[in-house]
Amino acid sequence: MNIPHLLTKSLLLILLLMPAFSQSLSDAQIKERIIQESIANYSGNCPCPYNSARNGSRCGKRSAYNKPGGYSPKCYASDISTQEVNAWRKRHSAR
């Protein structure tokens, strides 16, 4: 397991353990959390165009985001709807 992937998963765990904080987060902050969760859930090396491949190069068009079918990660705030933000708030306030 590579270090960036491990750090992302660790950050996700920390974020999931802080549900009371979710009500005070802005929509932009929640979108960033959704993006981080989406990337952490991707098992490969190139979920988003701006991520790095194993050889250190930018993933670009080789990313899952740019390939049709299969896993479709959320990489940008514009990928996330208001409904998804509200659903995230609801899930994290119910804990």
DSSP 24-76: G--HHHHHHHHHHHHHHT--SS-SSTTSBPTTSSB-GGGSGGGSSSS-----S
pLDDT, tens digit, 9 for 90 and up, residues 27-70 = 999 999 999 999 999 998 899 999 999 999 999 999 999 998 88
pTM of the model: 0.72
Instruction: Give the chain's mean pLDDT.
Output: 85
